[in-house]
C-alpha cells in the first residue's frame, strides 16, 4: 500500500480481510444450537462494531498519541447524528450529504471546544471537555428543541421538505439507491450468514479510516503528537509550539466521532440527545484503554469487546441460565444460576467492570499487550524453527510496545 512499509501493509491486509469476513467470523455456531446466542454476526451489531471502531480510533488519535484525555467526545457523536438527520429532512434519504455535513459540523464544533479546552492540560482539560459535553447535552435536550426536537429526538416526518426525493426514491436511508437495510442471507448447513449492505457500507468507511489512521501514526505529525505526550516542555524549547498540534489532533478526533455519529444515523435515521450523554463519552475512554491506548488495533478491539458485552451478555437472563444448568440436580442448578445471575443480563456492566480492572492492573497496555505476550510465548516455544528475516526481528526489538 502507498505510504506503508511491508509489515504495515501485511497488517492492513489482515484488517481488511477480517472486517470483510466479519459475517462469517462472528457466526461460528450453527442456528438453533445452545451456543447460537453467542453469535454476533447480525447486521445491527456488526454495524456497531465498525462504527464504534471509528469512534474509538479517532479518540485514540487524541488520547493515545497526545495523552490529552477528553471526557466529552460523545458531543461530537451527537452533532454528527443531528447533522445527518437534518440532511434527510431537507434533502432526502441519501446518506452522502449527511455524512459530509456531519464531518464538517463536528470539526467546527471541535475547533471551538478544543481552542478553549486545550488552554489547560491534565485533569483540567478533562473537566473542561466534560463540561462542554454536558452543556451540549442539556442544550440538545431542552433549549435547542427547534433544532434537536428535544426529548423525542430528531426524526424524519412525512411533511419534511426532502427536496431531492423523487417518486421512485427509497423511503429509507440509502447510498445512491442501495438501501442500508437490504440484506442477503446465505444458508450453509445449519449456519445462516447475513450480508447487509449497511454493514458493508460502514465497513468500507471503517477500512478507509483505518488506513488514514495508520498513515497519521506513521507520519511526522504523528511523531509530533507522541512528542507532546512524552515531554511538552522539551518540545517548546525545541522551537515547536505544541498548541497547533494538539488542536489539530483534537479536531481530527472530533471529526472521526462526527463521522461515527453520522454513520449511526445512516443505519437508523434517528438522533437523540442521549447520544451526547456523559456515559457515552466514558464508554469510548473505556474502549480505548481496554484495547490499548496508543496502539492502532487496540481501540477497535476495545470497541468490539464492549459492544459485544453490551449486546450479548445482556441477553443472558435466568431462563437461559436454567437451560444451561438443567442437567444438574435441582438444588445445584439454582445455586449456579444464583451465582452467575449478577454477572449477566442486566448485570453485564459488572462483568465488564471486573474485566476492565483486570486489564488495567495486569495488562496496562490493554488487550493488545495481552495478545503480544501470548504471541511472545509461542514464539519462544518454537525458537528452533527458522524465523522471519533479521530485519523484522530488529524491528520488533525496537518497538516492544506501541507498534500495533
Partner 1 sequence: MGILEVKGVNKRFGGLQALGDVNLSVEENTVHAIIGPNGAGKSTLLNCLVGKLIPDTGSVMFAGQSVLGRKPHEINQMGISRVFQTPEIFADLTVLENVMIPCFAKRDGSFRMHAIESVGSEKEILEMAEQMLADVNMLEKRDMHSGSLSRGDKRRLEMAMCLVQQPRLLLLDEPTAGMARADTNNTIDLLKEINQKRDITMCIIEHDMHVVFSLAQRITVLAQGTPLVEDTPDKIKGHPKVREAYLGEAA
E strands, 181-296, in order: 183-188, 191-196, 270-271
Task: Compute the least distance from the CB of residue 235 to partner 1, in Å.
Answer: 7
Task: Compute the least distance from the CB of residue 376 to partner 1, in Å.
Answer: 17
Please identify, using beta-carbon distances, which residue of 122 and 342 lies nearer to partner 1: 122
Please identify, using beta-carbon distances, which residue of 100 and 240 lies nearer to partner 1: 240
E strands, 259-343, in order: 270-271
Task: Compute the least distance from the CB of residue 402 to partner 1, in Å.
Answer: 8
Cβ–Cβ < 8 Å for 271, 92: no
Cβ–Cβ < 8 Å for 186, 192: yes
Report phi then psi at 154, rounded to 5. -85, 130
Please identify, using beta-carbon distances, which residue of 233 and 389 lies nearer to partner 1: 233
Please identify, using beta-carbon distances, which residue of 243 and 349 lies nearer to partner 1: 243
Task: Compute the least distance from the CB of residue 15 to partner 1, in Å.
Answer: 18
Beta bridge partners, 155, equal 270
Beta bridge partners, 154, equal 271
Task: Compute the least distance from the CB of residue 386 to partner 1, in Å.
Answer: 23
As a whole number of angstroms, the distance between CA 19 and CA 208 comes to 12
Would residue 176 be called left, alpha or beta, if left means φ above 0 and alpha means ψ between -120 and 50 degrees? left
Residues 6 or more apart from 164 whose CB is under 8 A from it? 91, 92, 94
Please identify, using beta-carbon distances, which residue of 158 and 233 lies nearer to partner 1: 233
Task: Compute the least distance from the CB of residue 400 to partner 1, in Å.
Answer: 8
As a whole number of angstroms, the distance between CA 332 and CA 249 comes to 55
Please identify, using beta-carbon distances, which residue of 127 and 240 lies nearer to partner 1: 240
Please identify, using beta-carbon distances, which residue of 167 and 239 lies nearer to partner 1: 239
Instruction: From 253, 202, 245, 200, select the one nearest 227 (Cα to Cα).
Output: 245
Cell 438501501 identifies what position? 179
Please identify, using beta-carbon distances, which residue of 158 and 389 lies nearer to partner 1: 389
Task: Compute the least distance from the CB of residue 119 to partner 1, in Å.
Answer: 14
Task: Compute the least distance from the CB of residue 215 to partner 1, in Å.
Answer: 5
- Grid coordinates representing 345 are 443480563
- Grid coordinates representing 252 are 481530527
Of the chain, the end-to-end C-alpha distance in Å amounts to 17
Cβ–Cβ < 8 Å for 81, 102: yes
Which spans of this chain sit near partner 1 (rule: CB under 8 A)? 3-5, 215-216, 218-224, 226-227, 229-231, 233-241, 244-245, 248, 252, 394, 397-398, 400
Task: Compute the least distance from the CB of residue 185 to partner 1, in Å.
Answer: 40
| CA distances (Å), origin 165, targets 98, 169, 172 | 14, 6, 11
As a whole number of angstroms, the distance between CA 251 and CA 177 comes to 32
Tell me the CB-side half-sphere exposure of residue 288, using CA atoms within 13 A: 28
Task: Compute the least distance from the CB of residue 392 to partner 1, in Å.
Answer: 13
As a whole number of angstroms, the distance between CA 384 and CA 223 comes to 36
Amino acid at each position: 500500500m502507498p505510504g506503508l512499509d511491508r509489515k504495515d501493509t501485511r497488517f492492513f491486509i489482515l484488517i481488511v480481510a477480517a472486517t470483510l469476513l466479519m459475517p462469517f467470523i462472528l457466526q461460528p455456531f450453527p442456528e438453533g444450537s445452545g451456543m447460537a446466542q453467542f453469535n454476533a454476526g447480525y447486521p445491527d451489531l456488526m454495524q456497531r462494531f465498525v462504527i464504534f471502531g471509528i469512534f474509538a480510533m479517532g479518540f485514540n488519535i487524541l488520547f493515545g498519541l497526545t495523552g490529552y484525555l477528553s471526557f466529552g467526545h460523545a458531543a461530537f457523536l451527537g452533532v454528527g447524528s443531528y447533522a445527518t438527520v437534518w440532511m434527510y429532512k431537507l434533502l432526502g434519504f441519501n446518506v452522502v450529504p449527511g455524512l459530509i455535513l456531519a464531518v464538517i459540523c463536528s470539526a467546527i464544533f471541535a475547533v471551538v471546544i478544543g481552542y478553549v479546552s486545550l488552554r489547560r492540560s491534565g485533569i483540567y482539560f478533562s473537566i473542561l471537555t466534560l463540561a462542554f459535553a454536558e452543556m451540549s447535552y442539556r442544550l440538545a435536550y431542552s433549549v435547542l428543541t427547534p433544532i434537536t426536537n428535544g426529548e423525542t429526538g430528531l426524526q424524519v416526518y412525512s411533511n419534511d421538505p426532502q427536496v431531492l426525493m423523487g417518486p421512485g426514491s427509497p423511503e429509507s436511508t440509502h447510498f445512491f439507491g442501495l438501501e442500508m437495510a437490504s440484506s442477503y442471507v446465505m444458508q450453509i448447513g445449519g449456519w445462516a450468514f447475513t450480508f447487509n449492505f449497511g454493514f458493508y457500507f460502514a465497513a468500507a468507511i471503517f477500512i478507509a479510516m483505518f488506513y488514514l489512521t495508520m498513515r497519521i501514526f506513521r507520519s511526522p505529525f504523528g511523531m509530533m503528537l507522541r512528542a507532546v505526550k512524552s515531554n511538552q516542555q522539551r518540545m517548546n524549547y525545541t522551537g515547536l509550539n505544541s498548541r497547533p498540534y494538539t488542536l489539530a489532533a483534537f479536531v481530527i478526533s472530533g471529526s472521526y466521532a462526527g463521522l461515527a455519529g453520522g454513520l449511526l444515523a445512516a443505519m437508523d435515521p434517528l438522533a437523540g440527545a442521549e447520544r451526547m450523554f456523559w456515559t457515552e463519552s466514558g464508554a469510548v475512554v473505556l474502549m480505548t484503554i481496554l484495547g490499548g491506548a496508543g496502539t492502532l488495533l487496540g481501540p477497535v478491539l476495545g470497541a468490539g469487546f464492549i459492544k459485544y458485552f453490551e449486546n450479548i451478555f445482556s441477553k443472558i437472563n435466568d431462563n437461559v441460565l436454567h437451560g444451561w444448568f438443567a442437567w444438574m440436580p435441582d438444588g445445584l442448578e439454582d445455586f449456579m444460576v444464583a451465582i452467575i445471575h449478577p454477572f449477566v443480563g442486566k448485570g453485564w456492566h459488572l462483568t465488564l467492570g471486573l474485566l476492565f480492572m483486570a486489564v488495567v492492573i495486569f495488562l496496562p497496555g490493554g488487550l493488545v499487550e495481552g495478545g503480544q505476550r501470548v504471541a511472545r510465548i509461542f514464539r519462544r516455544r518454537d525458537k528452533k524453527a527458522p524465523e522471519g528475516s533479521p530485519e523484522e526481528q530488529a524491528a520488533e526489538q525496537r518497538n516492544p510496545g506501541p507498534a500495533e
